[in-house]
Amino acid sequence: MATVSNEQVRFEGRILFLSEDADVVESQLLGADVSLADALPLRSDVSTDEITPAWICYYYDEKLGEYPYLGLECGQRTPVSAGSVKAGGFGVTVAGRRYGKGSSREASPFAEWCAGIRLVIAESFERIYRQNCRNLGIYTSTDFGLIERIRRGESIPISEFTQGEDELTAELIRRGGLFKLARARKDGWSPTTHAIAPRPMTYAEKIIARASVGHSGAVRAGDAIFARADWRYAHEYVSPMCISFLQREMGDQITLHDRASIVCFGDHLPFIHRSISPERRARGLLEAAQALAKVQKQFCETYGLRLHGYLADRDGSEGISHSIMTERYVRPGQLVVGTDSHTPHCGALGALAFGIGTSEMANAWVTGEVRVEVPRTCRVRLNGRLPAGVEAKDIVLHLLRLPYVREGKAIGQVIEYCGEALSGLSTDERATLTNMVAEIGGFSGIVVPDEETRRFVRDRRGTDLQLEPWMCSDEGAELAHIIEVECGRLEPMLARPGDPGHGIAISELAETVGIDIAYGGSCTGGKREDLLHYHAVLEWAAQRGMRIAPGTRFFLQFGSQDVRDYCVESGMFDVFERMGVELIEPGCGACVNAGPGVSERAEQVTVSAINRNFPGRSGPGQVWLASPSTVAASAIAGRIVSFEQLRAKAP
């Protein structure tokens, strides 16, 4: 716990070091106090999947306090058990670099808060996780010198947690959370406004400047403002927590701003009944999971909100939130927020789309506004042309292994894609690039709209889109960094199990990796273009009398009903069915460990087109990431191969 008085905070309770050594973690949970030196090396890259594994997020209230760190892997063990952190009386958590990467789920810091954690110290933090902490009133710091001061019982000036922050963020930290800041704004507090003279701006900066509230002129990196959101969307995995926060704050007097621009989705859990274990069923977790969609549906009915929900006549949903938002709603130049780290998917259309936490979405539903610290922009220039067999997924897996990304330098930045190779990519392929900015740790991914953007909107919506002259980055706009990618040198890529950053070119794979499961789907791998890639490989194989390898199951899950309908109309189903593919209605499915395609045993190996492969993400087995073509080729071979390798060895 923490006591705040006179602009100082005193942290009470013990300090929990998340060590790489499971014995060190267990000893602390059993009552031992260890030093930082004893705990080294600390766990780095702790994901929100480890802080709160997917099934824990079926809860959205104080019960979460029983479950923080249950998925934390230390070596080959998970040393934290239910209730142990809360029972241990911990008030501070200490970890290594890039803490809180992965999913934007606010359930992770809320579970820590409910367990008594009031301060997290780490070498570095992922943007959304740190923002969620601040919105809830959890302090964060990269100053390891605080450890001994806290142990001595010192009170820490709050100014040490606000140092270097913009005025708006500093006020949020001082007041102890977003809802407290919102009340202060309602009572008349507002940040100091500064008129900035015209300056060259990036495309993302222009979108923020046009959406800003109480801010005039240009914006620059580091400015913190409130901005109007054109779209605010959420899904059933998160909406109930938003609703509970609103009810706690406003009772039965909830008023929503511009309900037409709020969209809700049932996409994460329509297949949960087909993947949840008997042990978890016995604990009531199936009912808890299914209740999430019911809470969201009731809220949408009460307040007249648009809901793309579960199918009434069969398993599945209308589609994944990002897929439908891109196919039907988002337009270039808009500012879009969603309760999911893969919201940047929509940036393929030239919108500034980014994920926010539960508190922020609840506040945005009421105010129509979202707090934004103007991010810096890293430009990724895709030079040359992609070789045959190389897809957008391969580009991202290449980016993820570059030092600039691996060292966390891209965290919180907008990744602006451009270049000759980009101009040849469809909007679906561009969406893979922007979607996986979440894995890069960026704020958002964006593509300046062009004729391909117009083609996509005309093809998918039947409307003619007019681009405006301002929709570009200005010459001379300030950039944080430029990454040059010589696309002609790329080849199909993989990510080894455990982290999307474990990238390896397929030619560097020395060992033979047999597979049990091939999975194509999710928002990253379930778009029209992705299904065309799977189909091309399978059709080639079918023409040569080849089949899916014995002992291998190949699952294809559509990103939306629009994609499924396209596959039916294009005649793809014939090849899929003849080849023995297991087709699944739309939903997030195996990507969130909640549907067909998840592994059932630790020894199983999956090659998957999803976006992340953190431990436990898609079952207890090992997950390799790959492009759609590589996933399909591997299903035919029964081991990991690219389509080019498969063709080279074909009779």
207-216 confidence digits (pLDDT tens): 999 999 877 7
Q: Where in the chain is the domain with CATH 3.20.19?
A: 2-157
B/e letters for 42-70, b = 16+ CB within 10 Å, e = fewer, are: bbbbbbbbbbbbbbbbbbbeeebbbbbbb
Six-digit token pair at 186?
């309602």
The residue among 146, 108, 351, 316 whose CA lies nearest residue 232 is 351
Give how far Cα 57 sits from Cα of 52, 65, 90, Å: 7, 11, 21
pLDDT at 1: 66
Q: Specify the 3-state DSSP secondary structure of 19.
A: strand
Sheet holding 2-5: strands in order across? Answer: 2-5, 8-11, 156-157
What sign does the CA torsion over 108, 109, 112, 113 have?
Answer: negative
The share of the chain scoring above pLDDT 90, in percent, equals 89
Six-digit token pair at 257?
């701003």
Six-digit token pair at 133?
């902490």
Contact (Cβ atoms closer than 8 angstroms) between residue 635 and residue 556: no
Contact (Cβ atoms closer than 8 angstroms) between residue 557 and residue 526: yes
Q: Where in the chain is the domain with CATH 3.30.499.10?
A: 228-369, 376-489, 493-648
- Give the model confidence (pLDDT) of 242-269 as tens digits: 999 999 999 989 999 999 999 999 999 9
What is the distance between the alpha carbons of residues 241 and 60, in angstroms, rounded to a whole number? 5
Residue showing tokens 């799977």: 534
User: Pairing state of beta strands 582-584 and 224-228?
Assistant: unpaired
Alpha helices in 570-613 (DSSP H): 572-578
E-assigned strand segments in 456-538: 481-486, 493-495, 503-505, 517-520
Total residue count of the chain as it appears in this document: 651
What is the distance between the alpha carbons of residues 243 and 238, in angstroms, rounded to a whole number? 9
What is the distance between the alpha carbons of residues 116 and 92, in angstroms, rounded to a whole number? 8
Which CATH number applies to 493-648?
A: 3.30.499.10
What is the distance between the alpha carbons of residues 437 and 345, in angstroms, rounded to a whole number? 9
pLDDT at 287: 95
- Give the model confidence (pLDDT) of 603-616 as tens digits: 999 999 999 998 88
Give the containing element (helix H, strand E) for 249: helix 239-250
The residue among 329, 365, 408, 472 whose CA lies nearest residue 124 is 408
Six-digit token pair at 313?
């006549």
Give the containing element (helix H, strand E) for 370: strand 369-373
What is the distance between the alpha carbons of residues 493 and 305, in angstroms, rounded to a whole number? 41
Sheet holding 369-373: strands in order across? Answer: 212-213, 224-228, 369-373
HSE (side-chain half, CA atoms, 13 Å) at 381 = 7
Q: Which CATH architecture has domain 376-489?
A: 2-Layer Sandwich (3.30)
pLDDT at 193: 73
Looking at 3.40.718.10, 3.30.499.10, 2.60.120.260, 2.40.50.220, the CATH number of the domain 228-369 comes to: 3.30.499.10
Q: Quick count: other Cβ atoms within 10 Å of Cβ 362?
A: 31
Q: Which CATH architecture has domain 2-157?
A: Alpha-Beta Barrel (3.20)
Low-confidence residues in the chain, pLDDT < 50: none
Contact (Cβ atoms closer than 8 angstroms) between residue 68 and residue 115: yes
- Counting Cβ atoms within 10 Å, is residue 388 exposed (0-12), middle (13-18) or buried (19+)? exposed
pLDDT at 492: 98
